[in-house]
Amino acid sequence: MYQENSPHPNNPRPLPQSHELVGHYFDQLRGQIIGILDRDISSQNTISNLERELAVYKRAYADLDTEKQELQRLKQEAEKQLDDLKAQLQVNGHRVVTLIDGDGAIFNPQFIVQGQVGGHEAASKLTDYITQYFQTNFGMNNYQIWVYVFLNKRGLLDTFGRTGELLARSKLDEFIYGFNQASERFMMVDVGSAKEAADAKIKALLESEIRSHDNGYVTTLRSQITAGFRGKLILLPSYAEIAAGISELDLPVLAVPDLFISEKLGTTNPLANLSVATTAKEHGTLPSNEPITPSRAYGHQPRGSYEASSFTLAELEETSTKPQLAAGVTSTYSSILRTSTRRAPPTPELESGGSTSSDADEITTDPRVSPKLFNARRFNPKLPLSKRT
């Protein structure tokens, strides 16, 4: 008999049933579908993240585009302003501000004694040197020069009085007028005798204009250099030797020869001057015109730097004559009556503007000595003169 499903070692494995095949393929398909769905979810998340980043980039781009347009507008305005400034510079010139401490940088007396004319000459000389310096170093442009000089006028007058610069003392006001009238941008201002008044003015203007002789400005200058304004600072020295500390800043220097005194002023002694004149009068000679060495130092003055006095020493006269008795002459009543003391002639008046008048008033002469009577007899004033022997 034939057995359909009987196992036999030589027969192959029997095929599975159809429903088993369907189930097997269905399981494979389900796994693939699940994998696809998982990958789709991941892709959707990635797409969402990319969309959010894209939105951020779009907003950033829009902001940058807006900023770009604003910058372009500002650039156009800046270019327009630059063109206006260039046109203005062509008309008005570059602004150059000069700050001078008049208590330390004292103008040369040869200008001051000329009064208003000297003020004009000093201002003109300063302008010429500044213009030449800037044209040489910064090009042939127009330069608008402003000059501020701050000083203690009372103190400067006293200094001229002590140093014998009497003509400069009397002409200082006229010199200031001439300097101020030289240009509408030139100002010489009396700040009074308050301590460091000129320094305060200069420091304030320096800080204002940059955005001036002693080392009190070192801190202010150093702070401006640190702020990046070294290229805008130029030193205008007065003395031959720059103050300690300022030279260490290594700033460019603009020197104007003979505009200021190169050394500190000295002080003359009127009593010593009178002694020299009196001695010369007695010997029939006159003193030379060499400057007198100061007896009380206000500052160091080199010999021959300038005349220490503007008045003539030879005009001072002796003010007394000492009475003398002839040797061997016996003093009598009649000789006493004939003896008289000559009065001293009045002392010639010094210049009205000088500060040495008080010193001249203190000049004293040799004391008048009355003749001493040796071995003189006493007499009775009631007796007639004919009986007094």
Three-state SS for 362? coil
- For 13-66, write each residue's pLDDT tens digit: 555 567 788 888 888 888 888 888 888 888 888 999 999 999 999 999 999 999
Report the range out of 123-132, 311-320, 339-348 with the highest average pLDDT: 123-132
CA distances from 51 to 44, 45, 55, 201, 257 (A): 10, 10, 6, 65, 77
Average the pLDDT over 189-206 and give the result.
76
What is the distance between the alpha carbons of residues 356 and 164, in angstroms, rounded to a whole number?
8
Among 220, 73, 381, residue whose Cα is nearest residue 212: 220
* pLDDT score of 383: 58
Crossing angle of helices 153-163/166-181, nearest 10°?
Answer: 150
Written as six digits, the tokens of 233 are 């600072």
Mean pLDDT of 144-169: 90
Q: Which of 145, 146, 143 is nearest to 94 (CA)?
A: 143
Average pLDDT in the 90-99 region?
81
**Residues 157-166 pLDDT 10s:** 998 999 889 9
Radius of gyration over every alpha carbon of the chain, rounded to an integer in angstroms: 51
Q: What is the SS3 string spanning 220-249?
A: HHHHHHHCCCHHHCCECCCCCCCCCCCHHH
Band (pLDDT 50/70/90 cuts) for residue 280 is very low
371/96: higher pLDDT? 96
Q: Hey, is 340 helix, strand or coil?
A: coil
Q: What is the pLDDT of residue 128?
A: 94
Q: What is the pLDDT of residue 202?
A: 76
Mean of the per-residue pLDDT values for the chain? 69
- pLDDT of 111 above 90: yes
Q: What is the pTM of this model?
A: 0.46
Please say if the pLDDT value at position 187 is more than 70: yes
114 contacts: CB under 8 Å, gap ≥ 6? 121, 171, 175
Q: What is the pLDDT of residue 74?
A: 95
